[in-house]
Amino acid sequence: MAINYYYIDFGISTRITPDSPSRLVVGSWGLDWEPPELSETVPYDPFKLDVFLIGNLMRRQFCDKYSNLAMLEPLMSRMVHQDPARRPTAAEAHKQFQAIRRSVSFMNRCWSLQPRDSYLLVTAFRHTYSLGLKERLRPAIGE
């Protein structure tokens, strides 16, 4: 079963047609104030901005919060590079994400996300639970 994710902009988009003479925009309004290129006067590439925004969202909501996502950090760093020209395209980022996903072992893919501030005992229980022992533990924990 395929899962699709859609990242939307809540009404601040710009339509750029394939035959558009320019692929640059201006504007500084948005929910993320970290992109360095945001400007009301200097045009920038909105596609490179999208890569930054998705990378920053992934970094802040996942990599910064969970300890077992270190394999994503190089990709996130590339996506949020201060120089938009050095960021990957969305297609390149997707390709790198797929390669990272293929490189992660089956066991690591089964593990639940581990909060960075989690206690060792809680982490051990989460690993045990997420690796398929949850069915055997269920009667022991009163479910």
Higher pLDDT, 115 or 34: 34
Domain extents in the chain:
21-104, 105-143
pLDDT for the residue numbered 142: 45
Percentage of the chain exceeding pLDDT 70: 79
As a whole number of angstroms, the distance between CA 85 and CA 101 comes to 25
40-57: pLDDT as tens digits? 999 999 999 999 999 999
pLDDT for the residue numbered 143: 45
Q: What is the pTM of this model?
A: 0.75
Contact 71, 97 (CB under 8 A): no
The answer on pLDDT for 87 being more than 80 is yes
pLDDT for the residue numbered 113: 78
Q: Is 115 helix (H, G, I), strand (E, B) or coil?
A: strand
**What does the radius of gyration of the chain's CA atoms come to, in whole angstroms?**
20
User: Region 6-30: what's the mean pLDDT?
Assistant: 81
